[in-house]
Structure 1
Amino acid sequence: MQDYLELFFNLIKQPIIQAVLCVIGSILAAKIADWIIGRVLSNLANRTSSTIDDNIIQILHRPIYYSILFIGLGISVKAFSLPEVLSFVLLGLFKTIAVIIWSFALFQSFMHFITWYGRQGKKDNVF
């Protein structure tokens, strides 16, 4: 039994194993966040009378998932000890993709909010 534990701890010290574990951990964390947002927050938002919160949760669902995934991938790139140039390029690529995803999501959220607010103004005869 002691030999197996020693082998296990020696394996965990290997950078490639640490990188793979970080990738697996980030996928699991992203799936858990996906489940929490998909089930718990959506159920809470469904209880309200407005649809704006449903739309915002649905829009922000994907960027949160990918942000958690890219954070884990970034940690795994650092753990894998890649050459400095490749590490720099991969981390920059992850950040760029995350910014693009968040930009689209925030734009969609803003457009839904403006549309919803415009409808509220028409209902209340504000304009």
Structure 2
Amino acid sequence: MHSILTQNGLRSLAPIYGDFGPSLPLTHTPTATDFTSAFWCTAQQNGILQTWAPQYTMFSRGNISETARVLNLESLSETTLGTKPENTSAVDLYAGIRYFTFSYAKAGGGKVLCWEINPWSVKGLRRGAVRNKCGVSTAH
């Protein structure tokens, strides 16, 4: 695959070989059929599964040491927080497919609030949440 940068900064990927699903314009809002037709991958890092559609989203193993650090946060203790870790919340802006979201949850924190603009990343994040047995709710 190779990337094509667009004027607004969103990236489009073009497969070099293989069937990665339908080729859709960046302005297209994906449908349930689009999600079903896409090729999805899953990888495991630090015991956490992450799922993504490579034609529409990015995966990088480069965050593995930082996510491992989050899993072992010394500050996520009742003594440090003044409350039980499960009573806390973390915020993950630009959550992507999960690089930090599931690490915060697995580390014992309470709610993890996520924001993401790419609908393909949101779908991958939701699929990963199911695979990692994390509850998911959607705010509208």
| TM-score category of the 2 structures, normalised to the smaller one | under 0.3
Kindly indicate which of the two structures has a greater share of residues assigned to strand.
Answer: 2
Considering Cα pairs closer than 8 Å and 6+ residues apart, tell me whether 1 or 2 has the greater RCO.
Answer: 1
Kindly indicate which of the two structures has a greater share of residues assigned to helix.
Answer: 1
TM-score, with length taken from structure 1: 0.27
TM-score, with length taken from structure 2: 0.26
